[in-house]
Structure 1
């Protein structure tokens, strides 16, 4: 059965890939390689894009990374516009993605609630 992807879905996927590459290559921060773009949601009119990201460094640097991404969003948007053929390049909104951390916490809770029995060898 064929899946139906809208143009907005395809634009979001391409934005996710391109933003990740730009951050690694162009962002002037020593921890830029620790940023992972987990998802991008584009509005139907392509005017806004929510860029969800995680950061694998220490929690104290999270705010510094958020500030750096916020400061670089105009540059990233202009670089993206060079490779996209859209009437209007979406305005980027960076949102920290807590789902990875929440998944780890849930996994730890499940492990504590249901410990695996020791093998009888």
Structure 2
């Protein structure tokens, strides 16, 4: 009964994230999805919108591959949404909105600054 304390949007977000990761890595034919990592998924309270954050292994936000991947995700949105609806048996399938996650590159930047500061002592 531990799941009953977690809200429905959080549970749906977890399942959307897991299902989407599987779809992108195993079933989508687009090679641009091979380096993708779904870092976060947040679903609105009414389950109508899913904000999906992703990162690309070895790329930062200024790389052209990020923009190409965003376009490819938007193009595949219909297929992904319908597959999520089928697999999760949702009455309301959230609209998928994709965002590049800059947290990993920010973490690296902060680590570099800390290391630089430590090395100056």
Larger radius of gyration: 1
Q: Look up the SS of the partner of 2:34 in the other structure.
A: helix
**TM-score normalized by the length of structure 1:** 0.88
- In 2, distance between residues paired with 1:91 and 1:33? 23
What residue number does 1:27 align with? 28
| Displaced runs of 4 or more, over 4 A | none
**TM-score normalized by the length of structure 2:** 0.88
Q: Which runs of 5+ in 1 are unaligned?
A: none
**Structure 1 residue 83: deviation in Å?**
1.1
Q: Look up the SS of the partner of 1:114 in the other structure.
A: helix
Decide which moves more: 43-52 or 3-12: 3-12
Pairs aligned (count): 116
Q: Which runs of 5+ in 2 are unaligned?
A: none
What residue number does 2:99 align with? 95
Matches of residues 1-121 of structure 1 in structure 2 within 5 Å? 4-58=5-59, 59-115=63-119
- In 2, distance between residues paired with 1:31 and 1:70? 12
Could you say what the CA RMSD is over the residues aligned between the two structures, in angstroms?
1.8
Q: Deviations over 1:78-108 (max 9, x none)?
A: 0111112322100000011000000000000
